[in-house]
Amino acid sequence: MLSSLLQNTAIPVLEQVVNFAQARHNVLAGNIANIDTPGYRMRDLSTEKFQSRLKAAISQRDQIQSSLSVSLGHTSENPVNEVGSSLADMLHHDDTNGNLETQITAVAKNELQHNMAISIMSSQFRLLQAAISERA
């Protein structure tokens, strides 16, 4: 019951954003570690693919929720939970001789996205805790 309640919130979406940011940070850190390695090709996770998958999953979840409100059926499947299940097909080589400044900029942007998602998720949990303890 509690898990189905949370599936309708922004928390699963934020979880996917945090997981993607962590995976992308590992890839970018590998690029920085190998920046001087001869023949190394820079890698990255496609933020565009991730965002389009997440948007499609949210739309699908909303459609499922609207059909459930009519039929009063129950499903435990949430398409948002499957967005980050396979990051391998989001990985690509950009075939450039990336420089350190570009990689540091990408890491900083990724860190901001991660921190924003964590901050919003924390506020969601605080609101939930306040509602449960009736201190809202």
What's the confidence (pLDDT) of residue 113?
96
How do the domains of the chain map onto residue ranges? 2-132
Which of 124, 101, 136 lies closest to 11 in space, CA to CA?
Answer: 124
- The answer to whether the predicted template modeling score (pTM) of the entire model surpasses 0.75 is yes
Q: What element of type H or E holds 39? A: none
Would you tell me how many other CB atoms lie within 10 Å of the CB of residue 26?
9
The whole-angstrom separation of Cα 118 and Cα 135 is 23
pLDDT (tens place) for every residue of the chain, 136 residues total: 556 667 778 888 999 999 999 999 999 999 999 988 888 888 999 999 999 999 998 888 888 777 765 554 455 567 777 776 666 666 666 555 568 888 999 999 999 999 999 999 999 999 888 988 887 5
Residue whose structure tokens are 């949430």: 78
Query: In 10 A of CB 72, how many CB atoms?
Result: 6
